[in-house]
Amino acid sequence: MSLPVKQLLSEEQLRAGVTRLSREISQHAQGRPLMIVGVLTGSVVLLADLIRLLDIPLRVGLVQASSYRGTATTPGELTINAELLPDVRGQDVVVIDDIFDTGHTLVGIMAQLESLGARSVRSAVLLRKAERCEVDLAPDYVGFDIPNLFVVGYGLDYNDHYRNLPYVATLDEDEL
Selected catalytic residue, list 49, 101, 136, 140: 101
Strand partners, 65: 80
Q: Residue 166 has what DSSP assignment?
A: S
Phi-psi map region of 96: left, alpha, beta (phi>0 left; psi -120 to 50 alpha): beta
- The answer to whether 58 and 74 have CB atoms below 8 angstroms apart is no
User: How many angstroms separate the Cα of 25 from the Cα of each of 71, 142, 172?
Assistant: 34, 11, 35
For this structure, is 97 an active site residue? no
Residues belonging to the active site: 101
